[in-house]
Structure 1
Amino acid sequence: MDARRNLYFYYPKSDELEEKLSPLFELAKENDFNLVNNPDEANIIVSVGGDGEFLQAVRHTHFRQDCLYVGIAKENEAGLYCDFNLNAYDEMVHTMMNAPMEVRRFPVIDVTINGESTFHCLNEAAIRSAIIKTIVMDVYIDDVFFERFRGDGLIVATPTGSTGYNKSTHGAIVDPKTPCFQVTELASLNNNRYRTLGSSFILDKERTLRLEVIQDGNDYPIIGLDNEAYSIRNIQEVAVSLSEKRVKTVKLKNNTYWDRVRRTFL
């Protein structure tokens, strides 16, 4: 058995989806791919269900550095992480077998909470208030004080994450070939008493961002890591930096990141 052709499919289990995937499973076997039940045994992890499922697949398989992730979108789902469509089985397998492909490497951020637990994010980390009250955070860049933020929260996005939650709050879309991360405000207070930068800003790969949560009744802020939210008791400090990890995906010919952005938004 050639372990380099081991496929693991990550998808929400349902009879309808199993039926749709059955022909793809058979085609994969006919083309000498091995289907495995344990993601640790796979060198190709295939997510089915759009960008949200892709993020879950990467997170739940621990941001594997020794495998390739492939995204398959279901019908009528646009995806920035998905190169294939579930309704085109033959084309999908033929492309994987014969078409020129390159490996695309997407940046990841490391998020450390209270100097203890570190999480990885492919899209973004969002820190916001869990109650109807502004959250106050001191923002440090490379341990140098930058500003005191008051508002609903802050988003720290990777380049690929810049097209999601970050874009909806008027942050910039960043080319994923640029190793950096972006900080975007959520409903900041700006008046004669309080002042923030008032716009998103981009930090180089060598920078470190540190957020100190000012505990003034907001002891239980919510932190979103990609598409999962956590209420962590007594968040005092969140440090973010660009990770050494990269998520490797398929890059098909004539299907650049900006081709995907155009198809998704224009």
Structure 2
Amino acid sequence: MKIAIFSNDKQKSRMFRRKLMRELRRLDIVVTNQDPDIVITVGGDGTLLSAFHRYAHQIDHIRFIGVHTGHLGFYTDWRDYELPELVEALANDSGQSVSYPLLDVVIQYFDQTKEHYIALNESTIRRVNKTMKTDVYIRSELFESFRGDGLCISTPTGSTAYSKSLGGAVLHPRLEALQMAEIASINNRLFRTLSSPIVIAPDEDITLRPDAQEDYILTIDSFTHRERPISQVTFRVAKERIHFARYRHMHFWDRVEDAFIGSKQAHGKRGPQA
């Protein structure tokens, strides 16, 4: 088994990384960034997102493990003070994992070139200084003509991130679906949108065909793309999936409660492990 360790630059993360490397080498586990079987991220959700995009071309055979050294980690199962337990789990690894859907993004430019990406959380398209105008197609059928700041298309795991702040629903990650949420839409006598997040089935896709402008900002997770004028962007559930090595697994709704409500922690209660 080959393991890569991907950490942020904070002191606590660097210290954990050094200790983990020492323990893995003691067990004769290969620590390398080349073709790893497992990628352990040390930091938070942002660190895991960065690692995901670094290894996106290899995710069919990589499992991720998140260790969080900060205050909140939705993708991270382990805390920095649980090093002995994590090392023991790795020593007894039997390949157990859980997988979640990803977002497939195809960008077509007016010069007829295309780019393809996958996202773990979401993709957004917007204009900063002026109203964005785009036609929205679902399965090649015109659904609406959107006017507003932008649109956000998210995965089920990404439904707890930016999409939630836009009023989107929290989707269980076992659902094979995408969600589109509006960013400050304009609704009046001239322009009308659904004004509600929508959930797209796995055999459907969303295509945006914005007006020809050069100042669109398109994001893939935390990465921003400002390149050539965009002709259209198509979103669908990706064929690829992200795999997490889950030696223990907190129920999804316990994760949501812990991240956003915290009432169990305040009362000294913990939910069942599943």
- Kindly, what percent of the aligned residue pairs are identical? 30
1:239 aligns with 2:234: yes
1:256 aligns with 2:251: yes
1:70-219 matches, within 5 Å, as: 70-76=65-71, 78-98=72-92, 102-114=96-108, 116-130=114-128, 132-215=129-212, 218-219=213-214
1:39 aligns with 2:37: no
Corresponding pairs, count: 256
1:225 aligns with 2:220: yes
Look up the SS of the partner of 1:251 in the other structure.
Answer: coil
Look up the match of 2:264: none
- C-alpha separation between the residues in 2 aligned to 1:98 and 1:53? 25
Residue from 19, 26, 30 that aligns with 1:23? 19
Look up the SS of the partner of 2:244 in the other structure.
Answer: strand
Q: Say if 2:77 and 2:249, in contact at 8 Å, map to a contact too.
A: no
Q: Give the CA deviation at 1:109.
A: 1.1
User: TM-score normalized by structure 2?
Assistant: 0.88
Q: Give the CA deviation at 1:61.
A: 1.2
Q: Say if 1:113 and 1:235, in contact at 8 Å, map to a contact too.
A: yes
Q: Give the CA deviation at 1:39.
A: 3.3
Look up the SS of the partner of 2:246 in the other structure.
Answer: strand
- C-alpha separation between the residues in 2 aligned to 1:16 and 1:85? 11
- Listed one character per residue, the Cα deviations across residues 77-111 of structure 1 (whole Å, up to 9, x for unaligned) are x2121111123211221233459984110111110
Q: Give the CA deviation at 1:137.
A: 0.6
- C-alpha separation between the residues in 2 aligned to 1:16 and 1:94? 21
Q: Give the CA deviation at 1:16.
A: 6.0
Runs of 5+ in structure 2 lacking a partner?
A: 262-274
- C-alpha separation between the residues in 1 aligned to 2:13 and 2:46? 16
Look up the SS of the partner of 1:211 in the other structure.
Answer: strand
Summarize the Cα distance change of 1:160–1:261 in structure 2 as closer, same or farther, 3 Å threshold: same
- C-alpha separation between the residues in 2 aligned to 1:62 and 1:92? 24
Q: Give the CA deviation at 1:28.
A: 1.6
Summarize the Cα distance change of 1:66–1:111 in structure 2 as closer, same or farther, 3 Å threshold: same
Q: Give the CA deviation at 1:72.
A: 1.0
Look up the SS of the partner of 1:55 in the other structure.
Answer: helix
- C-alpha separation between the residues in 1 aligned to 2:74 and 2:95? 17
Segment drifting more, 246-255 vs 173-182: 246-255
Runs of 5+ in structure 1 lacking a partner?
A: none
Look up the SS of the partner of 1:92 in the other structure.
Answer: helix
- C-alpha separation between the residues in 2 aligned to 1:16 and 1:92? 17
Q: Which amino acid aligns with 1:202?
A: V
User: TM-score normalized by structure 1?
Assistant: 0.90
Look up the SS of the partner of 2:56 in the other structure.
Answer: coil
- C-alpha separation between the residues in 2 aligned to 1:237 and 1:212? 4
- C-alpha separation between the residues in 2 aligned to 1:71 and 1:184? 28
- C-alpha separation between the residues in 1 aligned to 2:224 and 2:12? 28
Segment drifting more, 200-209 vs 99-108: 99-108
When the two chains are superposed, the root-mean-square deviation of aligned CA atoms in Å is 1.9
Q: Which amino acid aligns with 2:150?
A: G
- C-alpha separation between the residues in 2 aligned to 1:51 and 1:199? 27
Q: Which amino acid aligns with 1:66?
A: H
Q: Say if 2:13 and 2:43, in contact at 8 Å, map to a contact too.
A: no
